[in-house]
Chain A
Amino acid sequence: MEERDLICIVCPRGCHLHVDKDLNVTGNFCPRGAAYGKQEVTNPTRVITSTVRIENALLPLCPVRSNGAIPKGKLFEAMKEIDKISLKAPVKIGDVVIHDLVGSGVDLIATRDMPVVK
């Protein structure tokens, strides 16, 4: 594994990480930074956030996110899957919208309460 300098994206703090050949991480403020550094050079992942169509709600869209990180290479495939579906109000925060998004083992969940609006 090549040595790499990264900027941690776990939180807005944005620590400057250094990952050496043996996957030792330095420059991290918290343990999540170390985990991120290791992950980023071996199998980079991202949380995906988007919207899905919804009927009978105040707005035509319901915001969603993956309930965990999915492989970075599968983001566009996930967007395609997200584009296909449509919901009906009521939807509650945390409701699972897609199980096992693009085979990642992670669910796509609603991130806003969408009550019925007539």
Chain B
Amino acid sequence: MKEISLVIIGGGSAGLAAAVGAYDEGVKDILIIERSPYLGGILNQCIHNGFGLTEFKEELSGPEFADRFIKQAQERNIPYVLESTVLEVTKDKVVTYTSAKEGVVKIQAKAIIMAAGCYERSAGAIGIPGDRPAGVLTAGQAQLLLNQYGYMVGKRVFILGSGDIGLIMARRLTLEGAKVLGVAEIMPYSNGLNRNMVQCLEDYNIPLYLSHTVSRVYGKERVEKIEISKVDERMRPIKGTEMTFDVDTLILSIGLIPNNTLLNNIGIPTGRSRGCAVDNHYESEFEGFFACGNVLHVHDLVDNVVAESREAGKYAARYIQGQLEKKQDRIHVSAGDGIGYVVPEYVALDGSKTTAFKFRVRKPSKNVYITYTLNGNVIKKVFKPVIIPSEMEIMNIPSELLGEGKGELSVSLVQKEEN
């Protein structure tokens, strides 16, 4: 069997940045395994701009951002295979992939970095009542078809879900000549970035229906009509609030889920983000298995993905070099009141001055403290005038506050008391 020190599953922004991170830390025996016929992953279909403000201090489009990392990997001669699908990963780090070119290949790795991104929630996942005609597709599918293959996915379009890709597709389809009749969002607030509400919906007078969902799809061969309804506090459609729209296409932008099946299959514990439960070195509960990017937790900004992934690559390299041992003493981190998830799940003190905590709040909140409680004592309170679920928070907490690095740490949201 072929032996390779570090196998990276996924050649998108996370996989490329992880490879660069590991290489620069001294591990050069790497293989990136990518499913598509090109590197760069989902960025290739994100042709809009707004990428790279933190990483490159420039505003780039998705393909340009991807290109920078493809070139960083190529400058280092980091090997990769394309059109290759990983079929299986075993507990003893044997990776099996298949491609038309090579057939079935088995590799014994010393460490594995999972960087396979995320997938989209589909129509089946939310069970929209009504017919099952053609013309219902996810925002990412629509984006791939339109931006990479030139297929106009519809002429009269309705969008369910106000996630960023949905908003960006509303603008894109409008510019390409489609009529976007509206966007429905089941929550009472938008799930997209503010700037996308402005430049994708307001700019083109596309209405946003908050606290609404699609309650029925009509159509024999192709979508002919959809019905939306207002929802109650428990998100059930309210009778008598129905509105119908004559459309030929329904686009779903209803959430992204870490694509972690390969590791779930071997029983790696997962966290609340639905990716692996990792420590502050992005190592999972299985030694030598690392995860980063959207397969760990869904990010809003690729700049954060590459920063995280470079770190994951660095620690994977240290593991291979025998410089990263799992410590007995570590802190277990949990999401307390008002917090959806926190990455990392464990912190093992390693002499770093600060420890980064990444999390999302459950609902938009004002005048709150993000409160860090270690073994019953509040060790840090960070005031936030405004905090919203659609923006991931990254807070660097001084490691000296983490005491001896043992016990339970809870991150929670506490309302500031009014005077």
A residues within 8 Å of B by Cβ? 6-14, 16, 46-51, 53, 58-61, 63-65, 72, 75-76, 79, 93, 111-113
Q: Given contacts A11-B53, A14-B193, are A111 and B64 in contact (CB under 8 A)?
A: yes
Distance A45 CA – B150 CA, assembled complex (angstroms): 26
Question: 8 A-B residue contacts at CB 8 Å?
Answer: A7-B194, A16-B194, A48-B175, A50-B175, A50-B176, A61-B149, A63-B63, A112-B67
| B268 surroundings in chain A (CB, below 8 A) | none
Assess the B149–A112 pair: CB atoms within 8 A.
no
The segment from B44-52, B88-96, B112-120, B325-333 that touches chain A is B44-52
Q: Does B61 reach chain A (CB closer than 8 Å)?
A: yes
| Contact mask for chain B residues 42-85; partner A; CB cutoff 8 A; 1 contact, 0 none | 00100111100100000111111001000000000000000000
Residues of chain A within 8 A (CB-CB) of B63 are 63, 93, 111-112
Assembled-state Cα–Cα distance A101/B179 (Å): 24
Contact of B203 among A11, A46, A53 (CB under 8 A): A46
Contact between B195 and A7, CB atoms less than 8 A apart: yes
Shortest CB-to-CB span from B124 to chain A, Å, is 29
Given known A-B contacts A12-B301, A111-B63, A113-B67, A51 and B150 have beta carbons under 8 A apart: yes
Nearest CB in chain A to that of B63: its residue? A112
For B37, list chain A residues within 8 Å (CB): 58
CB contact under 8 A between A75 and B195, given known A12-B301, A51-B150: no
Question: Which chain A positions have C-beta within 8 A of B59?
Answer: 11, 47
With contacts A49-B48, A111-B64, A112-B63 known, is A12 near B300, CB below 8 A?
Answer: yes
Number of interface residues of B (CB under 8 A): 31
**Does B214 make an interface contact (CB < 8 A)?**
no
Complex Cα–Cα for A35 and B202 (A): 20
**CB within 8 Å of A: which B112-162 residues:** 147-150
Which residue in chain A gives the minimum CB-CB distance to B37? A58
Question: In the bound complex, do residue B203 and residue A72 qualify as a contact, i.e. CB atoms below 8 Å apart?
Answer: yes
Q: What 6 pairs between A and B have smallest CB-CB spacing? A: A14-B194, A112-B63, A63-B47, A9-B195, A111-B61, A7-B194
Once the chains bind, are A111 and B53 in contact (CB under 8 Å)? no
Besides A13-B195, A50-B176, 4 more A-B contacts (Cβ < 8 Å) are: A11-B53, A46-B203, A93-B67, A112-B67
B245 interface residue per 8 A CB criterion: no
B195 touching A63, Cβ below 8 Å:
no
A33 to chain B, nearest CB (A): 11
Instruction: Give which listed residue, A47, A53, A93, contacts B150 with CB less than 8 A.
Output: A53
Inter-chain contacts of B64 with A (CB < 8 A): 93, 111-112
Contact B150 A61 (CB under 8 A): yes
Are A59 and B193 neighbours in the complex by a CB distance under 8 Å?
Answer: no
Find the residue from B53, B64, B199 having the highest chain A CB count within 10 A.
B64
* A11→B198 CA distance, assembly (Å): 12
* Residue pair A59, B176 in contact (C-beta under 8 Å): no
Chain B residue at smallest Cβ distance from A62: B63
List of B residues within 8 angstroms of A12 by Cβ: 50, 53, 193, 195, 300-301
Decide: A76 and B301 in contact? CB cutoff 8 A: no
Kindly report which residue of chain A lies nearest to residue B45, judged by CB atoms. A63
Q: Which chain B residue shows the least CB distance to A30?
A: B53
- CB pair B147–A61 under 8 Å, yes or no, is yes
- Say yes or no: A79 contacts B175, CB within 8 Å: yes
Interface membership of chain B positions 289-309, coded 1 if the CB is closer than 8 angstroms to chain A and 0 otherwise: 000000000001100000000
B195 lies within 8 A of A49 (CB): no
Q: How far is the CB of B149 from chain A (nearest CB, A)?
A: 6
| Cβ-defined partner of A60 (8 Å) among B149, B197, B300 | B149
Give the distance in Å from the alpha carbon of A11 to the alpha carbon of B197 in the complex.
Answer: 13
CB distance from B130 to the nearest CB of A (A): 33
Closest Cβ neighbor of A76 among chain B residues: B175
Which residues from A are CB-within-8-Å of B149?
Answer: 59-61
Q: A12–B198 Cα gap in the complex (Å)?
A: 11
In the complex, what residues of A have CB within 8 A of residue B47's CB? 49-51, 63-65, 111
Task: Establish whether residues A8 and B67, one from each chain, have CB atoms under 8 Å apart when the complex forms.
Answer: no
CB distance from B364 to the nearest CB of A (A): 13
Assuming the A-B contacts A61-B149, A111-B61, are A8 and B195 also in contact, with contact meaning beta carbons closer than 8 angstroms in the complex? yes
Q: How far is the CA of A47 from the CA of B171 in the complex (A)?
A: 13
CB neighbours of B44 from chain A (8 A):
112
A49 touches B61 (CB 8 A): yes
Residue from B175, B193, B194, B301 within 8 A of A75 (CB atoms): B175
